[in-house]
């Protein structure tokens, strides 16, 4: 399952990167002669929406939006989580206290609430949506890194390095960091579908990135016509579901690869 | 650490978090470019109100909070209002106060959340128990696979599929609206599926843990009938931890109805929140945000306190580290179930 998912994710990634080559039309092009064309119409294999925009093209560009947001958000979130987590775990004290306080606050503030507030304040643009996802995600990852670092710093090889006279920053980056990366990779591979979900969710509420096509926006526009023109939401919903499942199963595979204890339990 | 001290520390942390969250919300919204009046002017004709009316509303806000006083004084006014349950009029619906909008929306959201929780529990417990008893059979792997599907998809996507099937193809249930019990069915199912998946896995792994305990082996060795052993020894011990998951889950659902309410056009708190965000109805947005945060924190607090009462080890560790390790053992890799962690997982499961 994990390997099939990996291939699905790779194909989707290629589609996202080469969207202009894959999509038959630019995503915003309207065809007023062909509004609400059903699936299988000539020239529009997945039909068109109320404005006559080609659904297949919007779907393909929607992949692009989703991957771009998820990728940038995860890079930022991982970098922040690593730096805060290593400092909090290695130095403890005040940095640790601050991380715990931040955790408390973020736990009382559901991701999407925070995302909605940020987008309300900074506008429906790429950077605010992405910042919203990164801000919401780093806390869990930072806590994980912190826990890893706290166990690693008592290991023999770290103490040996200390005994040899290595300085704090060297130990943290050379000896502890590489060993803390495995579990972080596992949470990150689950965080990517979560980021995609948040992006689509914001668009579903009409609060997504204003000028980029998104599955969430397609569902939001199409759901009112669910009974009369279901083709407007069928293909985005299926594409969305396939993407999320592929990422989830790939994440399961990554986790199983890193964790021997979970074998046989699932 | 004594229970009172534990209690005091948790309470202090909740108080601190609430102050930070309210201050954060208040500051963020001060920064917001594009005032309510501008938004209304831009969209007047369709949904906006007339420019004069919008200006008047903004004027009312200014008299309530003071026009040229520093932001921190306005914040104090806001907090005083929040503490005395007086949040002033909404921008968009000037005839209504924010607290009355919250009071109207909350029962609707609560109904959805309670029904969804009940359904999730009613299905998850037997499913999890069965899967654990029939471990490694087709029933076990099959039900767990289906639950993975439910867990991986956000509730609004599940809702889309439900609408397509039951409203689009079969025409048996309405696609949206809020008018009678038939409008409850699809939203509640869509809400219940995510938590159901989390709960069922939790029950299953909790059952498996208990089944391998020595006292269960002992009970069977003494000649207890399997049915009796399972009912008296296994079920009772493996279902107690559910308390800690269900509380935060209910809170998460109560605040997590945003997508479902928006999609099905259900007049609950979540819809008010979304509408306030898109029309920049700042008083309503601040009010609903604070209310959501209070619900979540209060529930997490209660669960922690109950848990601290039941399990002294949690007190000793001040609640954090121990639960962390418990989770990583139970539900490896995925932020799983267990007090406030659980609510986070469920919230994320909700999208």
Angle formed by the axes of helices A215-222 and B155-162, to 10°?
40
Burial B196-206 (b: 16+ CB within 10 A, else e): bbbbbbbbbbb
One CATH from 3.30.470.10, 2.102.10.10, 1.10.3720.10, 3.30.420.40 for A16-22+43-258: 1.10.3720.10
Residue-level pLDDT at A230: 86
The DSSP code for B233 is I
pLDDT digits (tens, 9 = 90+) for B2-18: 778 878 888 888 888 88
Residue found under tokens 């654990």: B132
pLDDT digits (tens, 9 = 90+) for B76-111: 877 777 777 877 777 777 778 888 899 999 999 999
pLDDT digits (tens, 9 = 90+) for A112-154: 788 888 888 888 888 888 888 888 778 888 888 888 888 888 8
In whole angstroms, what is the distance from residue A164 CA to residue A159 CA? 9
> Touching check for B251 and chain A: CB below 8 Å?
no
Of B175, B332, B340, the CB nearest to A107: B340
What's chain A's average pLDDT?
84
- Put simply, the answer to whether B277 touches A262 (Cβ < 8 Å) is no
Structural domain boundaries in chain B:
17-84, 99-314
> Touching check for A240 and chain B: CB below 8 Å?
yes
Interface of A with B in 178-217 (CB under 8 A): 183, 186-187, 190, 193-194, 197-198, 200-201, 204-207
| Beta carbons within 8 Å of B185's beta carbon, 6+ residues apart | B173
The confidence band for B325, taking pLDDT boundaries of 50, 70 and 90, is very low
Residue-level pLDDT at B231: 81
Q: Closest-CA residue in chain B for A202?
A: B259
pLDDT digits (tens, 9 = 90+) for B221-270: 888 888 888 887 888 777 777 877 787 788 778 777 889 998 898 999 99
Chain B residues with CB inside 8 Å of A125's CB? none
Chain A residues with CB inside 8 Å of B13's CB? 101, 104
Top mean-pLDDT range of A52-56, B67-71, B255-259: A52-56
β-partners of residue B44 are: B48
- Put simply, the answer to whether B169 touches A147 (Cβ < 8 Å) is no
β-partners of residue A48 are: A54
Question: First vs last Cα of chain B: how many Å apart?
Answer: 37
Q: In this prediction, what percent of chain B has a pLDDT beyond 70?
A: 77
Q: Which residue has the higher pLDDT, B49 or A221?
A: A221
Closest by Cα among A141, A96, A116 to A204:
A116
The yes-or-no verdict on residue B33 having pLDDT over 70 is: no
Q: Closest-CA residue in chain B for A144?
A: B324
Q: What percentage of chain B's residues is helix, strand, coil (to nearest 5)?
A: 75, 0, 20
Residue found under tokens 């609903």: B288
The confidence band for A243, taking pLDDT boundaries of 50, 70 and 90, is very high
Structural domain boundaries in chain A:
16-22+43-258
Are residues A9 and A242 in contact, defined by beta-carbon separation less than 8 angstroms?
Answer: no
- The pTM of the full predicted model, rounded to 2 decimals, is 0.80
Distances (CA, A) of B92 to B39, B95, B163, B278: 11, 9, 30, 11
One CATH from 3.40.50.150, 2.40.50.1020, 3.40.50.720, 1.10.3720.10 for B99-314: 1.10.3720.10
Q: Mind telling me how many Å the CA of A244 is from chain B's nearest CA? A: 7
A166 C-beta neighbours (distance < 10 Å), count: 15
In whole angstroms, what is the distance from residue A21 CA to residue A229 CA? 28
The yes-or-no verdict on residue B48 having pLDDT over 60 is: no
Interface of A with B in 65-124 (CB under 8 A): 100-101, 104-105, 107-113, 116-121, 123
Of A205, A262, A266, the CB nearest to B274: A205
A to B CB pairs, distance under 8 Å:
158
What DSSP line would sit under B3-34, residue for residue?
A: HHHHHHHHHHHHHHHHHHHHHHHHHHHHH-SS
Q: Closest-CA residue in chain B for A239?
A: B157
């Amino acid at each position: 399952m994990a390997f099939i998912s990996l291939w699905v994710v790779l194909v989707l990634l290629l589609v996202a990167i080469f969207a202009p080559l894959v999509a038959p039309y630019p995503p915003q092009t309207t065809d007023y002669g062909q509004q609400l064309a059903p699936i299988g119409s000539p020239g529009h294999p997945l039909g068109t929406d109320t404005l006559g925009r080609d659904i297949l093209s919007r779907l393909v560009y929607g992949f692009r939006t989703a991957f771009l947001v998820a990728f940038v958000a995860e890079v930022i979130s991982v970098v922040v989580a690593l730096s805060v987590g290593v400092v909090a775990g290695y130095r403890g004290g005040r940095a640790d206290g601050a991380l715990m306080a931040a955790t408390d606050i973020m736990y009382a503030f559901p991701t999407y609430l925070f995302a909605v507030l940020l987008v309300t304040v900074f506008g429906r643009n790429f950077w605010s949506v992405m910042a919203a996802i990164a801000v919401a995600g780093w806390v869990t990852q930072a806590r994980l890194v912190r826990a890893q670092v706290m166990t690693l710093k008592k290991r023999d090889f770290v103490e040996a390095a200390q005994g040899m006279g290595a300085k704090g920053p060297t130990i943290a980056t050379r000896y502890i960091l590489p060993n803390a990366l495995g579990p972080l990779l596992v949470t990150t591979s689950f965080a990517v579908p979560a980021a995609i979900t948040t992006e689509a969710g914001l668009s579903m509420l009409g609060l997504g990135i204003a000028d980029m096509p998104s599955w969430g926006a397609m569902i939001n526009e199409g759901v009112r016509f669910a009974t009369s023109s279901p083709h407007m939401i069928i293909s985005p919903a299926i594409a969305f579901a396939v993407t999320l499942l592929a990422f989830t199963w790939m994440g399961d595979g990554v986790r199983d690869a890193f964790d021997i204890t979970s074998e046989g339990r699932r | 650490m004594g229970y009172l001290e534990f209690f005091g520390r948790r309470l202090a942390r909740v108080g601190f978090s609430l102050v930070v969250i309210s201050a954060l919300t208040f500051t963020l919204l001060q920064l917001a470019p594009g005032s309510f009046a501008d938004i209304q002017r831009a969209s007047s004709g369709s949904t906006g109100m007339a420019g004069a009316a919008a200006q008047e509303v903004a004027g009312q806000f200014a008299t309530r909070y003071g026009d040229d006083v520093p932001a921190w004084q306005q914040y104090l006014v806001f907090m005083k209002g929040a503490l005395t349950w007086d949040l002033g009029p909404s921008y968009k619906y000037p005839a209504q106060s924010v607290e009355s909008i919250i009071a109207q929306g909350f029962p609707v959201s609560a109904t959805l959340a309670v029904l969804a929780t009940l359904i999730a529990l009613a299905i998850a417990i037997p499913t999890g128990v069965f899967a654990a008893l029939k471990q490694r059979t087709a029933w076990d792997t099959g039900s767990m696979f289906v639950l993975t599907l439910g867990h991986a998809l956000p509730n609004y996507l599940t809702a889309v599929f439900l609408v397509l099937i039951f409203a689009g193809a079969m025409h048996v249930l309405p696609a949206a609206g809020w008018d009678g019990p038939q409008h409850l069915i699809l939203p509640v199912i869509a809400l219940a599926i995510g938590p159901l998946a989390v709960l069922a896995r939790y029950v299953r792994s909790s059952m498996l843990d208990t089944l391998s305990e020595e006292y269960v082996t002992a009970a069977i060795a003494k000649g207890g009938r399997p049915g009796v052993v399972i009912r008296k020894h296994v079920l009772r011990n493996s279902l107690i931890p559910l308390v800690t998951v269900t509380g935060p889950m209910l809170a998460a659902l109560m605040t997590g109805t945003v997508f479902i309410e928006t999609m099905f056009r259900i007049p609950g708190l979540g819809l008010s929140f979304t509408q306030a965000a898109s029309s920049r109805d700042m008083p309503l947005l601040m009010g609903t945000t604070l209310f959501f945060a209070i619900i979540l924190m209060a529930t997490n607090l209660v669960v922690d306190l109950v848990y601290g009462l039941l399990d002294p080890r949690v007190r000793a560790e001040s609640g954090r580290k121990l639960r962390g390790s418990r989770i990583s053992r139970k539900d490896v890799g995925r932020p799983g179930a267990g007090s406030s962690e659980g609510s986070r997982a469920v919230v994320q499961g909700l999208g």
